[in-house]
Structure 1
Amino acid sequence: MTWAAFWAQIATLNGSATQMGCLRLAEELSRRPLPDIIGFAERHAEALYRLDQEKFGMLPVADLTGRDGRPFPQSADAFLYARCAVVAAGQAIWEGVFFDVDRFAPYTSTEFDGEWLLHVPDRAYELATGKEWDRSTQYCFESYSNKDGWPHLRS
């Protein structure tokens, strides 16, 4: 799947990874050839991997503070869901955060939980084949897997 085709599919979410929007996207993908589902999964994983950078991951959660009033850090899962929310927001937002980290910050809010987007490729595959997908992609989308994005984590 080309990047243009991937972003066209993401655009059907209208900027937000809601449960219903992601289910509709999975259903749409499931009607496409299997290479398109796999291609979507690859682009999705790569988009998340590219966002897996310290400058985004070290941002505090936008709408939370600790008991002492200090900013509340993102957990690994919260950071993954924030990255999903940025992808769901669309190509322009995704590209824009690389030039301005402040554009990423609002997506750390609990208001922008992008977790449903994570399940789209697996759900589309299951709908298309009737089987669970034990998949791996070229890029790992898990938080802190992009060693270039987290240089101090290199061993």
Structure 2
Amino acid sequence: MTWADFWTLIDTLNGEADEASCRRLAEELRNRPVPEIIGFADRHAEALYRLDQEKFGVLPVVNMTDRIGSPSPQSADHFLYTRCAVVAAGRAAWEDVFFDVDKFVPFTSTQYDGEWLLHVPGQAYELATGQAWDRSTRYCFETFSNKDGWPHLQN
């Protein structure tokens, strides 16, 4: 799947990865050949992997503080869901954050949660084939998997 095709599909989310929009995207994907569903999963994983960088991951959660009033850091899961929200916002938003870290900041708010987007490839695959998704993608999208994005973690 080309990046252009991937972003066209992402546009069906209308900028939000809520349950309804992600279900709509899975329904759209189910009508495509299985290699395209797999290609979507690979592009999605790569988009998340590229965002897996310290400069984004160390940003605190917007409008959230701990008990003593210090900014609350993102957990690994929150950072993954935030990255999904950035992808769901579309190509322009995704590209913009690489050039201006401040454009990533609003997505750390708890009002943005892109977790549903993680389930789209599996849902689409199951709808298309009747079988459970049991595949790995070329890129791991879990937080801290992009070693180049977290240079201080390298040994």
TM-score (norm 1): 0.99
- Aligned residue for 1:88? 88
- Aligned residue for 1:134? 134
Shift of 1:63: 2.1
- Aligned residue for 1:22? 22
Structure 1: 5+ residue runs without aligned partners? Answer: none
TM-score (norm 2): 0.99
- Aligned residue for 1:143? 143
Structure 2: 5+ residue runs without aligned partners? Answer: none
Shift of 1:135: 1.2
- Aligned residue for 1:105? 105
- Aligned residue for 2:76? 76
- Residue type of the alignment partner of 1:116: W
> Using the alignment, how far apart are the partners of 1:108 and 1:14 within structure 2?
19
> Using the alignment, how far apart are the partners of 1:119 and 1:85 within structure 2?
13
Shift of 1:42: 0.4
- Aligned positions, number: 155
CA deviation string 1:50-89 (max 9, x = no partner): 0000000000011210111100000000000000000000
> Using the alignment, how far apart are the partners of 1:141 and 1:63 within structure 2?
26
> Using the alignment, how far apart are the partners of 1:87 and 1:25 within structure 2?
13
- Residue type of the alignment partner of 1:5: D
- Aligned residue for 1:119? 119
The runs of at least 4 consecutive aligned structure 1 residues that moved more than 4 Å come to none
Shift of 1:134: 1.2
- Residue type of the alignment partner of 2:57: G
